[in-house]
Structure formats: C-alpha cells, structure tokens
Structure 1
Amino acid sequence: MIIRLTTAADWRALKAIRLAALHDAPTAFGVTHAAAAAYTDEQWQTRAAGTDLAEYVLAFDGEQPVGIVAGVVSAQEEYNLIAMWVRPDYRGKGVASRLIDAAKERAQAKGHRRIVLGVAPENASAANLYLRQGFAFLPEWEALESHPEISVQKMEWVAS
C-alpha cells in the first residue's frame, strides 16, 4: 500500500476514486456526484496537481486507487480534512488511519497545528474513526453544502 500526494499525472486515478466515493456515499460530502462528474479533464488535472490551499492524498494498491483524503485551507485559515473515503473492500485494513495520518503530516508541514472536519453524527463509523485518531467534537454545526438539509458537527484535532 502506497499513500502519497497526487500529481497532475494522477488525475484519472483521482477522478475514479472521487466519483466512486460520491456514488457510494452521496450525502457524506460537500459536492454531489453530478457536479464532480461534470468537471473537465483539465479541472481534474488541476485538482490532482494540488495548490497551496488544496491537495489530495491517495492510497494505492498497485496502480489501483483505494482511498482518498484531501486537505483544504479555508478562508478562515483552517486546515480542513475533506473527501475522506476508502473503498468498501479495503475498509478495516488500516487504510483510513494511514490517510488521516498523512493529512496530519501535510497540515503540520504547512504550518497548521489544528485540523477541522465535519461529520454527520449518524455516520457512526466515520465519527468513531476520527475519535480514535484523536479528533474531538466541537459544539459547532453547519449545513452540508451539497445537502443543506443535513447538519454536520465540527470535529478538531490539535497537534501535541
């Protein structure tokens, strides 16, 4: 298993895993499958190349992408963990933990000691994963951008 930042050359792998995630869990992310499927190849290449404000990390088994996480710096200068997903046949094998560890390393390398994310409390498996990874719930809620009827609770991790 290789966990690494994407490059522009990984755009097809990024597109495949991101669309699979959005298909598998349509109400867990801030973008819809339809919106992401409409991105051009150039947009996927740009996303895969990463920027100072947003970058993707993929888990690969050989050439096959099996997991994804992204780090995005918000307008409030918060490092946000987003797009976390692992293929169902790879769950329970430590892939998610390794992706989160990679996000923590990336955040700290960029000078961020704190990571925030949003999770729907009814998504118990995700909430428990984040709790095991040292995240804590905050008394802050917000509507999920792609599905405003769903409220997500903020969680944070702070480097020691």
Structure 2
Amino acid sequence: MMIRYTTEADWRELKRVRLAALQDAPTAFGITHASAAAYTDAAWQDRAAGRGPARYLLAFEGDTAIGIVAHVPSGEHDLGLIAMWVAPSHRGSTAATQLVQAVQRHAAENGHHRVVLDVSPDNHRAAAFYQKLGFTFLPEWEPLESHPHIQVQKMAWPVLIS
C-alpha cells in the first residue's frame, strides 16, 4: 500500500474514491454526494493538484485508490482533518491509520499545534479509531453542514513540540 498526495493526473481517481465515500457514508461528511458529483472536471483537477485550501492524500493498492483523507488549515495553528474514508474491502487494514498518521506528520513538520476533526459521537467505530490514535473529544459541537440535524463534536490531537 502506498500513501501519497494527489497530483493533477490523479483527478479521476480522486473523484472516483471521493464519490464512493460520499455514497457509502452520506451522513459522515460536510458535503453531499450530489454536490460533489456536480463538480466539473476542472474542479476535480484543481483539487487533485492542491489548488485550493485542501490537500488530498490517497491510499493506493496498485493503481486503485482504496482510501482518502485531506487536510485544510483551520484557525491560526490548527490543521483540519477532513474527508477520511477507507473502502469497505480494506477496513481493518492499516490504510486508515496510515492516512491519519500522514496528516499528523504534516502537522508536526509544518508548525501546526494540533490536528482537529469533527465526528458524530454516535459513530462509535470512528470515534474509537481516532481515540486510539491520540485524539480526544473537545466540548465543541456544531451541526454537520450537509445534514444540519446531525451534531458533530470536535476532536483534537496535540502536536508534541520537541
């Protein structure tokens, strides 16, 4: 398995895996499948090339992406972890851990103080996974942008400054 940042040439695979994630877990993300499916090819190319605030990483098995994560600056010293998903066929593998650890490394290497994310506490599997990687719940709640009836709670992982 290889984890790497996307390049513009990866736009079709980024689109495929992102739409698969949104279809598989429609209430886990801040955007809907319909919204993302409406993006133009040029918009997907821009996302894959990192032209915009989000940087995407894909987990590849051969030429096929089996997982995705992205990060965006969040506040002055935070790095937001977004778009985390692994294909059902690869859940339980190391793909999810490797994707999150890539974001954690990026945060540590680029002067961020912590990595933050939003998760529904009802999503016990995801919450337990993030806790296993050192994230803790914060007393901060907000409605999920794509489904405002769902409340998500912020979690944070502190970058240990040496």
Instruction: Give the TM-score normalised by structure 2.
Output: 0.95
Once the two structures are superposed, what CA deviation does each residue of 1:46-82 show, in whole Å capped at 9, x if it has no partner?
Answer: 00011473200000000000000000113x2331000
* Matched length: 159
Question: What are the ranges of 5 or more consecutive residues in structure 2 without an aligned counterpart?
Answer: none
Compute the displacement of 1:134 (Å): 0.3
CA distance in 1, matches of 2:131, 2:124: 10
Question: What are the ranges of 5 or more consecutive residues in structure 1 without an aligned counterpart?
Answer: none
SS state at 1:29 partner: coil
C-alpha contact 1:71 1:107 (8 A) present in aligned 2: no
1:17 is aligned to 17
Compute the displacement of 1:103 (Å): 0.7
CA distance in 2, matches of 1:52, 1:14: 15
Once the two structures are superposed, what CA deviation does each residue of 1:6-46 show, in whole Å capped at 9, x if it has no partner?
Answer: 01110001000000000000000000000000000000000
Matched, 1:106 2:106: yes
2:138 is aligned to 138
C-alpha contact 2:71 2:80 (8 A) present in aligned 1: yes
C-alpha contact 2:107 2:159 (8 A) present in aligned 1: no
CA distance in 2, matches of 1:110, 1:118: 21
C-alpha contact 2:46 2:52 (8 A) present in aligned 1: no
Change (3 A) 1:108 1:53: farther
CA distance in 2, matches of 1:46, 1:88: 27
Q: Given residue 60 of structure 2, which amino acid in structure 1 is its aligned partner?
A: F
Compute the displacement of 1:106 (Å): 1.6
Once the two structures are superposed, what CA deviation does each residue of 1:82-107 show, in whole Å capped at 9, x if it has no partner?
Answer: 00000001000111000000011122
Identity of aligned residues (%): 59
Q: Given residue 132 of structure 2, which amino acid in structure 1 is its aligned partner?
A: R
C-alpha contact 1:71 1:79 (8 A) present in aligned 2: yes
SS state at 2:149 partner: strand
SS state at 1:21 partner: helix
What CA RMSD, in Å, does the superposition of the two structures yield over aligned residues?
A: 1.0
CA distance in 2, matches of 1:35, 1:115: 26
Matches within 5 A, 1:70-85: 70-74=70-74, 76-77=75-76, 78-85=78-85
1:58 is aligned to 58
